[in-house]
Amino acid sequence: MSRATRSYLLLLLCSVIWGFAFVAQRLGAEHLGAYSFNAARGFLGAAALLPLVWFLDRRARISPFEARAAWARVARPGVFIGLMFFGGQTLQQLGVEQTTAGNAAFVTGLYMVLVPVAGRFLGQHTGVFTWLGIALAVPGLFLLTWTGTGIGPGDLLVLVGTLFWTFHILGVGRVAAHVDPIRLSVAQFLVMATLSAVVAPFAEDAPFAGLLPALGAVLFAGLLSTGVGFTLQVVGQRYARASVAAMIMSLEAMWGAVGGALFLGERLSLQGYFGAAMMMAGILLAQVPTRADRAREAERAASGQPTVVPVPEPPSTALRED
C-alpha cells in the first residue's frame, strides 16, 4: 500500500469519527445541558491533545524554552478563536437538542462553502466551483430543513452557528502559519470549556447532574473525536494531496447522517434525501481547487512539504491554513 493511499484511508477514518461525533452529541443532549456537555468535552478534548503536543515536540526535538514560547504565541489568538468556537459549539449543541444528528451534520457542513465566500470580502479569490457549490447547497438546505411553515428551530440554531464557524476558520487561517495549530486547538478548547462551565449554572437547572449517564457520549466527543481524530489528521494529511484530502474530510456530513440512521434510527423524507444530496454535492464542489490552489499544491509537493487541508470538524476541531 502506498503512503498516499494509507493517508487517504486515515483521513477517511477521521471523517467517519468526526461524523459520528454528531451522534454522540445527540445522545449526550438526552442527559446533559448544552453548556455542561461542551464544558466536559472541551476539557477532555484539551487533555486528549496534550500527548500529541508532547509527541510532536519530542519528534521535532523542541526544547522546554521553545515549547513555552510556542504556548505563549497561541495565547492571544486563542482567545478570539476560542470565543468563535464557543459560539459555534454552543449553538450547535443547543440545535442538536431539537433536530437530528444528520440534519445537524449537513447544516454545519454548510460552512465549507461559506468560508471562501466570506474570504472574498477579505480580498481572497473565490473560484467558480465555490459559486456552483452554493447554487446547490442553499436550495438543498431549504429542502432538508423546511418543515412547511419554516426552518425547524434546531436547524436554525445550527445554521446561525455556521456563521461562528466561518469566522472561526478564517481566524485560524490568519494565524495558523505562525503558531502551532495543535496548541492553538488546545487553547480554543480551554476557552470554550471554561466559558461553558461558567455559563452552565446560570443557564441550566442542574448542571453536570447527568454526566454519568452521558459519560460514553462525552468520552467519544472529548477523547476519540479529538485525540484520535487529530492524530489521524496530522498523520494522514502528510502525504495526501490537499484537494483530495479536503473532499474526503467533507464526507463528515454524510457520516453524521449514516451514524444517525444506524444508532438513532433517524430517517429522512424523500425531500430530505434530495436536500442532503444537493448539499453534499455543493460542499464537494466547493472543495474543487482553483488553478492557483493547484499551483500552490504542486509547489508544496515539489518541495516535500506536508499538505495542510481544511478540516471540517466542528466544527469542534476545525483548522484551516490558507
Cell of 230: 487529530
- Predicted local distance difference test score (pLDDT) of residue 322: 33
- Predicted local distance difference test score (pLDDT) of residue 300: 63
CB-based contact 241:307 (threshold 8 Å): yes
- Predicted local distance difference test score (pLDDT) of residue 319: 42
Q: Which of 305, 73, 309 is nearest to 180 (CA)?
A: 73
CB-based contact 11:248 (threshold 8 Å): yes
CB under 8 A, 24+ apart: contacts of 149-156: 152/98, 152/99, 152/103, 153/95, 153/98, 154/94, 154/95, 154/96, 154/97, 154/98, 154/99, 154/103, 154/104, 155/95, 155/99, 155/103, 155/104, 155/107, 156/95
Distance CA 89, CA 240 (A): 28
- Predicted local distance difference test score (pLDDT) of residue 229: 86
- Predicted local distance difference test score (pLDDT) of residue 314: 40
Q: Could you give phi then psi for residue 244, rounded to 5 degrees?
A: -70, -40
Cell of 128: 467558480
How buried is 238 (Cβ within 10 angstroms: 0-12 exposed, 13-18 middle, 19+ buried)? middle
Report CA torsion sign: 5, 220, 317, 105. Answer: positive
Model pTM? 0.88
CB-based contact 111:162 (threshold 8 Å): yes
Distance CA 217, CA 41 (A): 9
Q: Per residue of the chain (322 residues), what is the pLDDT tens digit?
A: 788 889 899 999 999 999 999 999 999 999 999 999 999 999 999 999 999 899 999 999 999 999 999 999 999 999 999 999 999 999 999 999 999 999 999 999 888 888 888 877 777 777 788 889 989 999 999 999 988 778 899 999 999 999 999 888 888 878 877 888 889 989 999 999 999 999 999 999 999 999 999 999 999 999 998 888 888 887 887 777 777 888 888 899 999 999 999 999 999 999 999 999 999 999 998 888 777 666 766 666 666 555 544 443 444 344 433 3
